[in-house]
Amino acid sequence: MSLLRIFSLGGFFFLTCQFALAQSNSSPTPETTRPVSVTPSGPQITFNSVHVEGPYVAITFDDGPHATLTPKLLDLLAARKMKATFFVVGENVVEYPEILKRAVREGHEIASHSWSHPNLGKMGDDGVRRELQKTDDAIKAAIGVRPTLMRPPYGSITARQKIWINESFGYRIIIWDVDPLDWKRPGPSAVCQRIVNETRPGSIILAHDIHPPTIEAMPATFDQLQEKGFKFVTVSELLAMARPLPPKPASTVRPPRAAPAAGTAPAAPAPAPGTPNG
């Protein structure tokens, strides 16, 4: 074997070893670093709205109870025989338990909105658990039953948190599909029109019973929604009404006709109805 051939084989062997070493020290491929989906294949946990057969909607109020505004809102609801769901903050529950008791007596639903309204999506599990457990205990002490629904403040929650919260507390996570941004205090008229324009059957409407302009907006909002035929139920009642979405209709688009073969005369058009053929 010539010296040139020996040197060539040696060089090839050296490059092969270097390439293998570089591959073993390289970072993992995207497939190994991609986050693993934690969404379960079981029952639905999170709801923004539902498909219902009928003009049913749920209106919800966050952040209370408020010492004066929540009772005013309860008066408005009672006058119209409407139901609502209140996502309450634990600190306020401890301060105003009698307001919760009145809400339950009048047919409304009480749900958890955490203890102190933090961003749960940015918290560790222990902190989230304390927020929810303290609120759960406060609601139980005030009205005798524990909540079955929870809304994360700001709607902020991770997919993994949803799963363990559901497993630990049994909560269904309620978001919304109608948001008038009333916390920005755009004025009663703007709040009313946004809710009225965006509400559809099965909607979950978000509002806050701690802002005076929101309470001012509610009489016109309630009246206009009722004039449109909407019926108000609690969130739990709305979820119980949920039905599967109907299947999409089959496509009615006909495939294009094949082009006639070369040298073939096109077919004559069909005669108009009532016209003799030939």
Report the distance separating Cα 184 and Cα 152, nearest Å.
19
Query: Which token pair is 221?
Result: 């909002």
- Helices 125-143 and 97-105, axial angle in degrees (round to 10): 70
* One-letter amino acid of 231: K
CB 110 within 8 A of CB 100: yes
DSSP 8-state code for residue 214: H
Which residues are 174's β-sheet partners? 47
Which alpha helices (H) appear in the chain, and where do they start and end?
Answer: 3-25, 30-33, 69-80, 90-95, 97-105, 125-143, 159-169, 188-198, 212-227, 235-240
* One-letter amino acid of 183: W
- The angle at the Cα of 170, spanning 169 to 172, to the nearest 5 degrees, equals 115
Query: Which token pair is 250?
Result: 């089959």
* One-letter amino acid of 196: V
Q: What is the dihedral of CA 76, 81, 83, 89, to 10 degrees?
A: 30
Q: Please give the positions annotated as active site.
A: 62, 208
